[in-house]
Amino acid sequence: MLQRIGAAPARRAALRAPALRGATALARRGVSDFAKAVHEITAEREKLKIVPPPLDAKLTGMLVELLKKPPADEADFLLEQLTNRVPPGVDEAAYVKASFLTALVKGETSSPLVTKQRAVELLGTMQGGYNVDTLVGALDDPQVAETAAAQLKKTLLVFEAFYDVEEKAKKGNTHAKAVLQSWADAEWFTSRPKVAEKMTVTVFKVPGETNTDDLSPAPDAWSRPDIPLHALAMLKNPREGVPTDVPAAIDELKRKGHPLAYVGDVVGTGSSRKSATNSVLWYMGDDIPYVPNKRGGGVCIGGKIAPIFYNTMEDSGALPLEFDVSCVEMGDVIDIHPYEGKVIKGGKQVATFELKSHVLLDEVQAGGRIPLIIGRQVTKRARDALGLGPSAVFRLPTDAAPAAAGYTLAQKMVGKACGVAGVLPGQYCEPLMTTVGSQDTTGPMTRDELKDLACLGFLADLTMQSFCHTAAYPKPVDVVTHHTLPDFIMSRGGVSLRPGDGIIHTWLNRMLVPDTVGTGGDSHTRFPIGISFPAGSGLVAFAAATGLMPLDMPESVLVRFTGTMQPGVTLRDLVHAIPYVAIQRGLLTVEKKGKKNVFSGRILEIEGLEHLKCEQAFELSDASAERSAAGCTIKLAKEPVIEYLRSNVTMLKWMIAEGYGERRTLERRIGRMEEWLAKPVLMEADKAATYAATIEINMDEIKEPILCAPNDPDDARLLSDVAGDKVDEVFIGSCMTNIGHFRAAGKLLAKHDGQLPAKLWVAPPTKMDAAQLTAEGYYSTYGKVGARTEMPGCSLCMGNQARVNDKATVVSTSTRNFPNRLGKGANVYLASAELAAIAAIIGRLPTPAEYSSYFKSLDATAADTYRYLNFDQVPAFQQKASKVEISSEIREEAKKLQAKMSQ
């Protein structure tokens, strides 16, 4: 948990100004190598006007050696470094610090600057992990027992050490009793300041839509773990209404003497980047005592706040509010009254609002939603141990009334993960996370969050790490991540892919157990079977570490397809038909001011396409991210799911044979899949289930392709509305594609003589797809027409690797087309692979008639074109898989887990 230590004095301006104020003076005289190294780092960062990074393990090792025999004139400097510049939790540097302080407490070493008492106090600032055992042991030491107890009272990441404290209390240790009573009384919470009755803030307003690409640009993804450095990229792409020099504008607004609030018409759409939240809070949040280079708190206001961004703000202890922001402008000073739900400007009330939940006030007081959840658990355990009833300290989530009509498919899946029949909208729950995914541009941040949570082992059944966003064009920092992150994940029981393997979603989907719940640190973690609720890196870390995820159950919107797919219409066109029809019905607007979006924050539930293969179903669930939906379910027939899982069992066994780890986790997942295959039953929505809205899409009426026009994935238009637009570049790739799309494109391209008039990029989702396409001769076709084939992975979709030319007009099969995502000033249409290939051939968007004439050539070989990779029918995979045996112990473990979820 990201626990904010509150009782110790708040860190001074150490995070706002360079934390090493004495470094410049130290550099002018004979000083320690440590001080010189720190000064050099600080001087480099001062050029960028940002604070230095926290100390790493090497520098912390140098520091502790100096503390044993400190130079006389470096005492204050060294103590500042030890106190405020070493990360807490289970960071490598934290291990060095905790080991040193533990040695001081045990009398195994000494320092003239750090007494035994002070060592215990400093251990208490480290949140959890390496410090806990020493603090618990110190409860028996008369010299420091009282101090140790004081520190443990505000430490929540104690995990199994809770029982050690309980045992000491039972044996009569008065200090342990005091700790237990303090936890029971929730003093860790009540000692923190409550949310103020009135909050005065200065408005920093960004008109229109702010997506997470604006706040955390993809080309700067490499710097995301370094929050102050990455924050320099926030809003760096010019846009109307935003100052050119954002940091300078922020400094100017702060001179009014109030904290800033980030305000926008629509805030936080797009990717699930906690880095976007981190950047906003670095400028507008509060320092966290004893935690270097990280901030929490703050206020974020939007006419609409995207659900994942809202959640990451919650997790960071911020106060997210939604109301009509047309009443405020950049630089306005406003008073926010959180309890009364009103906004005052110039003495007049200009807006009202309602908190999403009154529990939000507790989340802010606790320093975030995750600290509150873990803290409440510690308090409950302590009260149970003392024989006390439930605590009355906390605001409790309000449960919805029992179901009267029935449950939707999503409500049943979440209910199953919570051990109940169903969970209704508005109910708070903590579903079991069966599958958790982490990708490489958020993975280093997730690693940091896991360290903050003192996580040394995953409780989620399967946690997987990919390297799909950085493998093709790695920066030096990415290469380091490629070498270090796999071991970190696997040492905690997770599964790690390898650079070049391909896209996280295509792989993770093959590891799913039907009708279960999961999450991932990518907004497109949208399961084709089961349901996922994508999240920022902090919540993903929490889900992986604890096996649970906090969720306020959203409402559902039902999309029901009827009729028959018409000739030339692809599944991607049905994907775009969802926003197209919603626009026609007035349930979705492209205009950002006063934005309407019936899907935002709700679960998109799809019916009427039960015959789809699981690979096809993912196209629909994947695109729910562009609808700003909280999650997605798709009703499928049993047969395609059985086919998919049989293939996936073989693939996972192949992974084991290929040396992928962690083997035990992969074996357990194979066991769970086989248990489901033995009794293949899929959940279905109750007929009487109710939805916030129902949208029927008659496929008989969709007779031509539907695209999303530049530069908004909501701006769905018929091909006839945009035909003729010149096309400069075409991208066929991303998680929205599968092997059938590349065969279809290849067959169209094979009929073209010479080089293409438009530049074509081709990037299959996995290395298995690339190998199969190569074996079938498609790569030869791509080369013949001059296509640029990319390493399997995200390629242009992410925007942090290769880029299209400035101001190019592009047809792309990628997930979204926000401004500047694929290239600076690029105008990007989203379309099917088939339409994209035709646009590459003729250099413009075709007319419906032209499109139809090209597409007809695919009909004769459709069965061959749209074959999917069934690994249980591929000899190379079969042979490897046949040599893998799953132990009886693991099978029994998997059987129990699957049986538990089936109750």
- What whole-number distance in Å separates Cα of residue 130 and Cα of residue 87? 12
For 363-393, write each residue's pLDDT tens digit.
999 999 999 999 999 999 999 999 999 999 9
Reported as a pLDDT band with limits 50, 70 and 90, residue 903 is: low
788 neighbors 762 (Cβ within 8 angstroms)? yes
| pLDDT score for 397 | 81
The stretch 542-570 carries a mean pLDDT of 97
643 neighbors 870 (Cβ within 8 angstroms)? yes
Cα 804–chain centre separation: 26
For 412-422, write each residue's pLDDT tens digit.
999 999 999 99
The stretch 230-240 carries a mean pLDDT of 93
Nearest 5°: phi and psi at 896?
A: -65, -40
For 181-203, write each residue's pLDDT tens digit.
999 999 999 999 999 999 999 99
Beta bridge partners of 454: none
| pLDDT score for 396 | 86
- What whole-number distance in Å separates Cα of residue 277 and Cα of residue 315? 10
Interacting residues of 377 by C-beta distance below 8 A, sequence separation 6+: none
Mean pLDDT of the chain: 93
Reported as a pLDDT band with limits 50, 70 and 90, residue 105 is: very high
**Number of Cβ within a 10 Å radius of residue 895:** 15
471 neighbors 500 (Cβ within 8 angstroms)? yes
At residue 401, does pLDDT exceed 90?
A: no
Distances (CA, A) of 762 to 101, 584, 794, 836: 55, 34, 11, 11
**Beta strand pairing call for 729-733 and 716-718:** unpaired
| Alpha-carbon torsion angle 401, 402, 405, 406, nearest 10 | 120
pTM score: 0.91
Quote the longest CA-to-CA distance of the chain. Answer: 88
At residue 890, does pLDDT exceed 60?
A: yes
Buried b (16+ CB within 10 A) or exposed e, 865-881: bbebbbbbebeebeebb
Tokens of 852: 């139809």
26 neighbors 77 (Cβ within 8 angstroms)? yes
Nearest 5°: phi and psi at 730?
A: -135, 135
- What whole-number distance in Å separates Cα of residue 901 and Cα of residue 431? 11
Please name which of 390, 895, 502 lies closest in space to residue 668, comparing C-alpha atoms: 895
The stretch 492-513 carries a mean pLDDT of 97
260 neighbors 201 (Cβ within 8 angstroms)? yes
- What whole-number distance in Å separates Cα of residue 446 and Cα of residue 68? 34
At residue 423, does pLDDT exceed 90?
A: yes
At residue 10, does pLDDT exceed 60?
A: no
For 305-326, write each residue's pLDDT tens digit.
999 999 999 999 999 999 999 9
67 neighbors 101 (Cβ within 8 angstroms)? no
Tokens of 319: 């106060």
- What whole-number distance in Å separates Cα of residue 861 and Cα of residue 859? 6
Tokens of 632: 């997605």
| pLDDT score for 306 | 93
- What whole-number distance in Å separates Cα of residue 41 and Cα of residue 862? 60
Q: Side chain identity at 830, as an amino acid letter? A: L
At residue 28, does pLDDT exceed 60?
A: no
Neighbouring C-alpha atoms within 13 Å toward the C-beta of 471: 22
* Cis ω for the linkage preceding 173 (within 30 of 0): no
The stretch 678-689 carries a mean pLDDT of 96
Beta bridge partners of 604: 557, 632
For 803-816, write each residue's pLDDT tens digit.
999 999 999 999 99
At residue 403, does pLDDT exceed 90?
A: no
At residue 3, does pLDDT exceed 90?
A: no
Nearest 5°: phi and psi at 496?
A: -120, 130
The stretch 95-109 carries a mean pLDDT of 97
| pLDDT score for 247 | 94
At residue 26, does pLDDT exceed 80?
A: no
| pLDDT score for 402 | 66
Beta bridge partners of 520: 437
For 246-291, write each residue's pLDDT tens digit.
999 999 999 999 999 999 999 999 888 899 999 999 999 999 999 9
| pLDDT score for 76 | 95
The stretch 94-104 carries a mean pLDDT of 98
Angle 783-789-794 (CA atoms, 0-180°, nearest 5)? 160
